[in-house]
Amino acid sequence: MTRMIPDNLCRPSRLKAYPPPMPRTGPLLLALFLALLPACTSPIIEGDLLSLEPARAPKSAATLTELLPWATATNPKPSPLESESPEGEFTTRYEVLEGDNTGSVMLQVRAPGLSPTSWFITRRVEGEPTALEERFQTIDARDGSLVLPYSLNFERGVRVDMDPAPITVPARIEPGDTLTRELKIRLPLLEDPKRLREKGTAISEFNYVGDQRIHTAAGVFETKHLREVFTSRFSAASAIRTIDRWYAPGQGLIAERWSEEVTVLGIVIERTKLAIRVLPPRVPETGVSLEKPTEIESPEPQNATPGCGYLTLFGPTAPFPLNPCPGAADVLGRITVRASAAGQRLSFS
C-alpha cells in the first residue's frame, strides 16, 4: 500500500544546501526530523496499468451532465478530448493497455442518434476496417440516467437486447449509494435477427467508488470512479463482468477497465480483460482547436529572441519550440507554426 505524506513532506535522498546558520543543536534536530520521515515515493500506485493514484473518499455526488457534458438535450457540449469530423461525429482516442489489442489505439466515435437525447457509440481499433462494437445509448425518461437499450457485438456476431435498459452513467449517484436493476437479455444473431443464440436474465449493480487522480498522455485528471457489476445468467452459462470507469468532470471518460468471467456448469471457460486510457485528441488538418482560430497571441509578444512558447491546445499545456524570425516556420507533425513580427503573432495552418 502506498503511504501518502501531505504536501510532499518526505525524506530527501540528499541535502544539497542548508538554510542560514542555526544554533548548534539545529542540525541534530533537523537530522532527527528527516530520519523519522518516510522516503519519498511516487504517488502512483505501484504496478497499476492505468497510472492511478490512491483513491480518496468522494466528497459530493456524481452527476451525468457533469461527467459527460454532451449527454443532454439542452446546451450539449463536446468533450475537450473529442475531435469533430466534418460529418458531425466526435472521436476520442484511447491507448489499449490490456486485452487482445494491447499496444494499439482504440477509437470511440460518438454519432447523433434517433433523437436529441440518443447517440450511437462505436469502438474500433485504429487502422482496422471493422468495428468491435456499437452501442445505442439514450437518456432514460424515467430518471434521467444514460442507459444502454441494446448493443451490437461484432466479435461474437450478436445483438444484445436488454429490458429495462441498464444504467451506464446515472443521472445522479451519491457516495455510498448502489443502484440496482434487474433485466431480461435476448441475443439475436446479427446475420439472422429472427434466430436467438440465447436468452436469460441479469442484474446490474452500480456504485460510486471514490475520487482518484489519473496520469495520462493527455494530462493529469481528477476523476470520479464509478463501478458496475453485471451478472448475467443463461440456460447453461453465466457471466460476471466488473466494469470500472473513471470520468473527469467536464471532460468525459478518461479510463476504463473491465474483466469478465464466463462459466458453464460451474467451470470457468473464458476470461477476458480490457484496460484503456485516454490519449490527446488528434489535431485537425487545419487549425489547432475545435473553435478553429486563425491567429492567437504569442505568450511573450515582446520577446524577439528564440525561446519556448506555451500553447494550450485541447487541455494539457505543452511547450512548442518557436522561431521568432519573420517568415520562419517550424513543422510539428500536422501543425505548421509560422512566426511573424518578431514572434508577436503566430498563425497556424
> Which structural domains are found in the chain, ordered by start?
6-36 (no CATH), 62-278 (2.40.360), 295-348 (no CATH)
Reading the block at residue 227, the C-alpha cell is 463501478
How many CB atoms are located within 10 Å of the residue 270 CB? 11
Task: Compute the average pLDDT of residues 281-308.
Answer: 46
Residue pair 223/208 in contact by the 8 Å Cβ criterion: no
Q: Which of the four pLDDT bands, split at 50, 70 and 90, describes residue 62?
A: very high
Most trustworthy range by pLDDT among 53-57, 235-239, 240-244, 309-313: 240-244
* Per-residue pLDDT at 179 exceeds 90: yes
Residues found in the chain: 349
pLDDT at 285: 53
- 157: cell is 456476431
User: Quick check: 74 and 234 in contact, CB under 8 A?
Assistant: no
Alpha helices, DSSP H, located in 8-161: 25-36, 64-67
Q: What is the C-alpha radius of gyration for the chain, rounded to an integer number of angstroms?
A: 25
List pLDDT tens digits, range 215-261: 999 999 999 999 999 999 998 899 999 999 999 999 999 999 999 99
Average pLDDT, the chain: 77
Helix (H, G, I), strand (E, B) or coil at 314: coil
| Residue 249 neighbours by CB under 8 Å, 6+ apart | 66, 67, 222, 224
